[in-house]
Amino acid sequence: MLYMKKKYWMIGMIMMIVLSGLPSFGARAGDEDAPEELSQLYARSAVLMDADSGRVLFGKEEDVVRPMASTTKIMTCILALENMQEDEVTAASDYAASQPKVRLGVKGKEEFRMKDLLYSLMLESHNDSAVVIAEGIAGSVEEFAVMMNEKAAELGCSNTYFVTPNGLDGYDDGGTHSTTARDLAAIMRYCIKESPKKDAFLEVTRTKEYSFTNVKGDRSFSCSNHNAFLTMMDGALSGKTGFTADAGYCYVGALEQDGRTFIVALLACGWPNNKGYKWKDTRKLMEYGIANYQYQTVWQDMELKDIKAEKGIKKGDEFGGDAKIPVKVADADKDFKVLLKEGEKVDVACDVSKVLAAPVKEGKKVGTVTYMLNGELLKEFPVITTESADKKDAGWCAGVLVKKLLMQ
């Protein structure tokens, strides 16, 4: 297990070095073209992301590693949803019962339905519920952290390292419990857009009030959603707050309007008594996205020339020269749209082989059409052959000679 944690820490360090040299998709705080309205954010790290593409539309120290407090719990929740059994019951350990506030108040050996604990986790941010969930899914907090780090790696969140399921400040031999604003937004994107349990995640995180009992039925609990963003803006989808002494106030949230979905992630967004800073930053970033970004159809039809197949012969063209093979763009998407702001331009490039070596099969990939924005790949489409050609080998030549002799 120690080896696994060190492995993810090393991957994260390598990828952080690699990614630091890549151009940013969108504007960054401090750039000449950075929007003036976003120049005074309270958060030390901030991201505005297009949830459909994963493109960062604005970033401020978006790749700086910082603690993330209870925003951690979006990962805990989605892993529980993806791994728990229907109506699964789990018992609280003494370790879970010892977790600091904020807590549900579980007791050692007390049994709960896993699905109930998810509302405790996401609505009230109970730290003990997070541990009960982690132990119920993986057997221990340490093993659950391995699952969290594996999922982060799958999502490309190489600057993220999980130690706890609740986000309390902590570290182990593998590193410090931390993430980046970019990675945190990417995890939320997975939760609401890509996970097979995305609908269940949204159902839990959008619930206003929830009540339940332990399995025995002798204790009752009520939860209220503390995500103020849900009633702050039209189209608010989901979100999670967080705070620790090291992390400061943190937030990650999502909003959908007019077919556009935006994600905001904030780290180190003030300390007491500035609890409201995260809401001001969230609104400012969301309003910037809504006002400035619209979907535009960027598909371009390509005029593709036939490709010569050297020593190739097509059926029915027995006495011709080298075959000419027609090609097309596969999986063409004439409705291909990209979220763009005024002045942004998508560059389209076509790279196709000029000559093919026979034999050639129909459906062979011979090139690509790429759509780029600010030097970053948005999407690529393969170019394929639409006909086949055999090779003019010795047997073919002999056959042609025989035919010519017979025609004399």
With 90 as the cut, is the pLDDT of residue 116 above it?
Answer: yes
More confident residue, 268 or 394: 268
* 193 classed as catalytic: no
Mean pLDDT, range 89-106, rounded to an integer = 97
Find the helix or strand (DSSP H, E) in which 371 lies.
strand 365-373
Q: Which of 45, 93, 125, 238 is catalytic?
A: 125
Q: Give the pLDDT of residue 151.
A: 98
**Residues 6 or more apart in contact with residue 20 via CB below 8 angstroms:** 63
Could you tell me the maximum CA-CA distance found in the chain, to the nearest angstrom? 103
Mean pLDDT, range 193-207, rounded to an integer = 98
With 60 as the cut, is the pLDDT of residue 5 above it?
Answer: no
Instruction: Single out the residue of 78, 290, 28 nearest to residue 182, CA to CA.
Output: 28
Kindly report, as residue ranges, where domains of CATH 2.60.410 are found in the chain. Answer: 307-407
With 90 as the cut, is the pLDDT of residue 408 above it?
Answer: no
With 50 as the cut, is the pLDDT of residue 12 above it?
Answer: no
Q: Give the pLDDT of residue 238.
A: 98
Q: Which of 24, 70, 129, 158 is catalytic?
A: 70
More confident residue, 370 or 407: 370
Query: For 133-186, how does the pLDDT look when each residue is reduced to its tens digit (9 = 90+)?
Result: 999 999 999 999 999 999 999 999 999 999 999 999 999 999 999 999 999 999
Residue 28 token pair: 């960054």
pTM: 0.86
HEC profile of 205-237: HHCCEEEEECCCCCCEEEEECCCHHHHCCCCEE
Question: Is 240 marked within a binding site?
Answer: yes
Q: Give the pLDDT of residue 264.
A: 98
Kindly report, as residue ranges, where domains of CATH 3.40.710.10 are found in the chain. Answer: 2-292
Cβ proximity of 177 and 54 under 8 Å: no
Residue 362 token pair: 């129909």
Radius of gyration in angstroms for the set of CA atoms belonging to the chain, rounded to a whole number? 28
Residue 348 token pair: 């389209």
Q: Give the pLDDT of residue 399.
A: 64
Distance separating alpha carbons of residues 403 and 399, to the nearest angstrom: 6
Q: Give the pLDDT of residue 296.
A: 96
Task: Place 35 in a pLDDT band, splitting at 50, 70 and 90.
Answer: confident
Domain 2-292 in CATH 3.40.190.10? no
What percent of the chain has pLDDT above 90? Answer: 81
Q: Give the pLDDT of residue 404.
A: 64
With 80 as the cut, is the pLDDT of residue 26 above it?
Answer: no
Cβ proximity of 207 and 94 under 8 Å: no
* 70 classed as catalytic: yes
Q: Give the pLDDT of residue 18.
A: 37
More confident residue, 318 or 234: 234
Q: Quickly list DSSP for 225-282.
A: ---GGGGTSTTEEEEEEEEETTTEEEEEEEEEETTEEEEEEEES---TT-TTHHHHHH
Q: Which of 24, 45, 60, 73 is catalytic?
A: 73
Domain 307-407 in CATH 2.60.410? yes
* 125 classed as catalytic: yes
Indicate the pairing of strand 312-313 with strand 390-391. antiparallel
Instruction: Single out the residue of 9, 18, 26, 36 nearest to residue 62, CA to CA.
Output: 26
**Residues 6 or more apart in contact with residue 401 via CB below 8 angstroms:** none
With 90 as the cut, is the pLDDT of residue 77 above it?
Answer: yes
Quote the mean pLDDT of the chain: 91
Q: Give the pLDDT of residue 394.
A: 67
Distance separating alpha carbons of residues 70 and 49, to the nearest angstrom: 20
Mean pLDDT, range 119-144, rounded to an integer = 98
Task: Place 51 in a pLDDT band, splitting at 50, 70 and 90.
Answer: very high
Distance separating alpha carbons of residues 149 and 130, to the nearest angstrom: 16
Query: For 277-306, how does the pLDDT look when each residue is reduced to its tens digit (9 = 90+)?
Result: 999 999 999 999 999 999 999 999 999 999
Q: Give the pLDDT of residue 395.
A: 64
Would you give the distance in Å from CA 358 to the centre of its chain?
Answer: 42
Cβ proximity of 312 and 62 under 8 Å: no
More confident residue, 215 or 13: 215
Instruction: Single out the residue of 11, 74, 112 nearest to residue 263, CA to CA.
Output: 74
With 60 as the cut, is the pLDDT of residue 340 above it?
Answer: yes
